[in-house]
Amino acid sequence: MCSVIVTASAHSYTVFSCTTILSFACSKRVLETLISPVEVDTFLAEFWERAPLHVPRDVPGYFADLFDVSDIEESLVVGARDLDRFALVKAGVPQATFDDYVVTSPAIRWKSTGNAPASHIDPRKVAALLERGYTLVIKDAALLSARLQRTCNRLQRELGAYVGANVYFTPAGAQGLDVHHDTHDTLTVQIEGSKTWRVYEPLVELPLESQQLHRGTQVPALTLHSTVRLDAGETLYLPRGYAHEAVAAGERALHVTFALAPLRAIDLVHEMIDVAATGDVALRRALPIGWHDDPAFAATFARQTAMQLGSLNADVVAAAAHGALTGLFASSRSESNAAFDQQQLVAKLGPESLLQVNADLPFLVRERANAVDVLLPGKMLGFSAACLAALQLLQRGPVRYADLAPELSANDRQLFVKTLVREGMLLIEDTRN
């Protein structure tokens, strides 16, 4: 484990002369954009799950197009009735209650309709709590922001990890959360203002969800790893397990934290046990009556289980990997990305229509006997093996409809393309002048 936080600076890297993330995200990988000028290969080899990384930039507007204060205001309106999506927190004191920032209004003509009153967030009450030093947290904020969802999806596609986004809006000089560690990796991008982060050495390397930093209010002794000032336009990566706390500087601060939850070895092992149990009745049997009072049970069970698990082979691992990946995509979400305009274009599909893979959608193509599966957020599509070549061709770059899948019949090719467009994996470029 690296004990020194590494800072990328203009002295050792070339800083890109760009001002926003989304202005060039389409031509570059999102991860590359978030950590530039650090190379992705360097990041994965030296920092991923190993050590914190602070990437300074003298470009305050670097993330301006990703999210801003106006998006917070819109989220409070659009998500006004999704009360659990929001929290107001302040280090050292209890979290604000719903009564502090939620109002309950009667339904229109409720005496005639009998409709129940509805509760919703009052943005003005939220602003009043910010004046008192509370931080507004928007949990899973991508549900209220198409731009954040697209960024999360692209990161998932690049890292093979589930990605979520939380937003933190903190008044000047305030601290939202008490010291804590996360059980997922985080990439934090500072949108506005500055925060000083105190990062501590992990008590547990890469902790599980059950290995929380503390129980109750007693915080264990921590060793300071580093202090980082995160200014607007900068990035901070923390592997899971590094405890931290952050205080806003002399002005309000807004940042987005991307939570990165990769598939871990334990996740695959869980799937392997499930797969093995489908073919081995011994793993499905109940434990013997009185096992908890038998002093020899632990040793006996350890020997039996070691023999059973020692027989696991590559086929079991492959089946388990498929199950783990299916679960990852089942937890993921799609996004609109001109879905309704695409419906019109697919109805006018012609030989010169240009088809390209949607860069904003995570997907995986998995070949199996006589078939091919496409894993997409929330679902899996099954195609005949004859479609594999067309899927591979589409992944290499834009393709004219006339040049796609000559091995398929006209009807099958049209159905294939329409299905992928409908599910958001494929986009049709409107080539009409």
The answer to whether residues 47 and 145 belong to one domain is yes
Query: Is 398 part of any domain?
Result: yes
d(CA 335, CA 149): 7
d(CA 403, CA 423): 21
What does the pLDDT look like over 103-159, one tens digit per residue? 999 999 998 999 999 999 999 999 999 999 999 999 999 999 999 999 999 999 999
pLDDT score for 219: 80
The answer to whether residues 355 and 421 belong to one domain is yes
Indicate if the alpha-carbon torsion angle 322, 324, 325, 329 is positive or negative: positive
How many Cβ atoms sit within 10 Å of the Cβ of residue 430?
A: 14
Q: How many domains does the chain have?
A: 3
The answer to whether residues 297 and 388 belong to one domain is no
Last residue of a domain, one of 287, 308, 330: 330
The answer to whether residues 300 and 257 belong to one domain is no
The answer to whether residues 275 and 229 belong to one domain is no
- CATH code, domain carrying 374: 3.40.366.30
d(CA 404, CA 392): 11
Residues lower than pLDDT 50 in the chain: 1-27
SS3 at position 140: coil
Q: 53-55 and 6-7: which strand pairing? A: parallel
Closest CA to 332 of 401, 412, 424, 269: 424
The answer to whether residues 211 and 187 belong to one domain is yes
- CATH code, domain carrying 229: 2.60.120.650
| Rounded-to-10 torsion of CA 77, 81, 83, 84 | -100
Query: Is 112 part of any domain?
Result: no
Instruction: Please give the biggest Cα pair distance in the chain.
Output: 81
pLDDT score for 432: 60
The answer to whether residues 172 and 204 belong to one domain is yes
The answer to whether residues 212 and 309 belong to one domain is no
pLDDT score for 12: 31
How many Cβ atoms sit within 10 Å of the Cβ of residue 273?
A: 17
Query: Is 76 part of any domain?
Result: no
Indicate if the alpha-carbon torsion angle 38, 206, 63, 252 is positive or negative: negative
Query: Is 98 part of any domain?
Result: no
d(CA 25, CA 151): 9
Q: 118-121 and 102-105: which strand pairing? A: antiparallel
Last residue of a domain, one of 210, 244, 262: 262
The answer to whether residues 140 and 62 belong to one domain is yes
SS3 at position 4: coil
Query: Is 29 part of any domain?
Result: yes
Last residue of a domain, one of 262, 293, 309: 262
Domain range for residue 424? 339-429
The answer to whether residues 144 and 33 belong to one domain is yes
